Structure 1
Amino acid sequence: MENSPEPNEIIYHEKQVKELCALHALNNLFQNPKTFSKADLDEICFNLAPQSWVNPHRSMLGLGNYDINVIMTALQNRGYETIWFDRRKDPICIDQSKVIGYILNIPSQFKIGKYVPTPIKRRHWLSIRNINGIYYNLDSKLDQPEKIGREDHLVDYLQDILSDVEKEMFVVTTLENSKTYHKENS
């Protein structure tokens, strides 16, 4: 299976800058660089903890490293719902027609420069989205979007993700579909 995008497919893909993976995951999910800005996410951080001298929803240095509360609030402000997916369930139960995409939180090894690993473990946000019938991993650390494939390939991919207890998955849907994104009898 070829992992690069379809030849005629134009896919928006922000690359990793500083600790802004949450921002990149959101903009990659919506395929638009102007969906959210660092200033938008910083304002959400302030509104979530207005009395805090050190904001608990981002890095102390203000370089990003936003938590799920910021992502969920950003999406709610735009009329979307972010739902934590219980790994004990099989992702086959998800009605893909009611899903905008996925936000994943995965472990990531901190590196000095691009190639020197350290023992420091961090968390990283990435998004998955259907673009014209094909699902893509839009991880900002990738050189280009990674083609997952059609829905059956997506289910296999998500099952693999959820088999790792260190990884978390959030389903992004509209507010109207937030209660009905599971297939009947699931």
Structure 2
Amino acid sequence: MKMPLCSGNNLAGAEEGMSQAPEARPSPPSVYHERQRLELCAVHALNNVLQQQLFSQEAADEICKRPLSQLALPQVLGLILNLPSPVSLGLLSLPLRRRHWVALRQVDGIYYNLDSKLRAPEALGDEDGVRAFLAAALAQGLCEVLLVVTKEVEETGCWLHTS
């Protein structure tokens, strides 16, 4: 059956010779999907993977702050932080923020900030020092922390003290 492309003009038969558009795919049944709001993509990703709204921004922030004392740092090879970073032109600081990745690692019992923007590694000290550094970074907001662990540590979950 032919349908006119435009009603009320001479283009009624213009679709002859044109290929048919593919049929629209049906929507998957009841797939939970949160759309991006503000800069909450980590929260949206968690909820989308879990297929329900389990996490809020506040809950995710609390989880990020609470495991600091529960991290089994000797089991962690290193940490990678994604932080807001100011933009400057010489001495002039611009009101823009970009994201910057920073590595933290323990070497010979001392934790270091291995930020590639530093002239040299910055000693953070022992576990208390690295926890203080992480707490300060998280307190600034918009900070993400990734743990780098071996496959064995990840599978057993021993990077976190449960008591």
Shared fold, TM over 0.5: yes
Identical-residue share of aligned pairs (%): 34
Structure 1: runs of 5 or more not aligned: 1-83
Structure 2 Cα separation of the partners of residues 88 and 94 of structure 1: 11
Q: What's the secondary structure of 1:126's corresponding residue? A: strand
Query: Which residue identity does 2:101 align to in structure 1?
Result: W
Q: Is the 8 A contact 1:105 1:167 kept in 2?
A: yes
Report which structure shows greater RCO (CA 8 Å, sep ≥6).
1
> 1:135 aligned to 100, 111, 114, which one?
111
2:158 maps to 1:180: yes
2:80 alignment counterpart: 103
1:120 is displaced (CA, Å) by 2.0
Q: Residue 164 of structure 1: CA displacement?
A: 2.2
How much has 1:89 moved relative to structure 2? 1.5
Of 76, 96, 101, which aligns to 1:125?
Answer: 101
Residue 125 of structure 2 corresponds to residue 149 of structure 1: yes
Q: Which residue in 1 is equivalent to 2:146?
A: 170
**Distance in 2 between residues matched to 1:125 and 1:105, nearest whole Å:** 5
Q: In the TM superposition, what are the counterparts of 1:89-100 in structure 2 within 5 Å? A: 89-100=66-77
Cα pair 2:65 2:135 within 8 Å, conserved? no
Paired residues of 2:78 and 2:105 also in contact (CA < 8 A)? yes
In structure 2, distance between residues paired with 1:158 and 1:88: 9
Based on CA coordinates, which of the two structures has the bigger radius of gyration? 2
Deviations 1:155-183 (A, max 9, x none): 22222222222211111111111122101
Are the counterparts in 2 of residues 101 and 129 from structure 1 also a CA contact under 8 Å?
yes
| Pairs aligned (count) | 101
1:90/1:159 contact within 8 Å kept: no
1:184 aligned counterpart, secondary structure: coil
2:47 corresponds to: none
Report 1:58-69 matches (<5 A).
Answer: none
Equivalent residue number for residue 87 of structure 1: 64
SS in 2 for 1:176: helix
**CA root-mean-square deviation:** 2.0
Query: Is 1:139–1:145's contact at 8 Å kept on the other side of the alignment?
Result: yes
Q: TM-score, normalization: structure 1?
A: 0.50
Q: Structure 2, unaligned stretches of length 5 or more?
A: 1-59
Normalised by the length of structure 2, the TM-score is 0.56
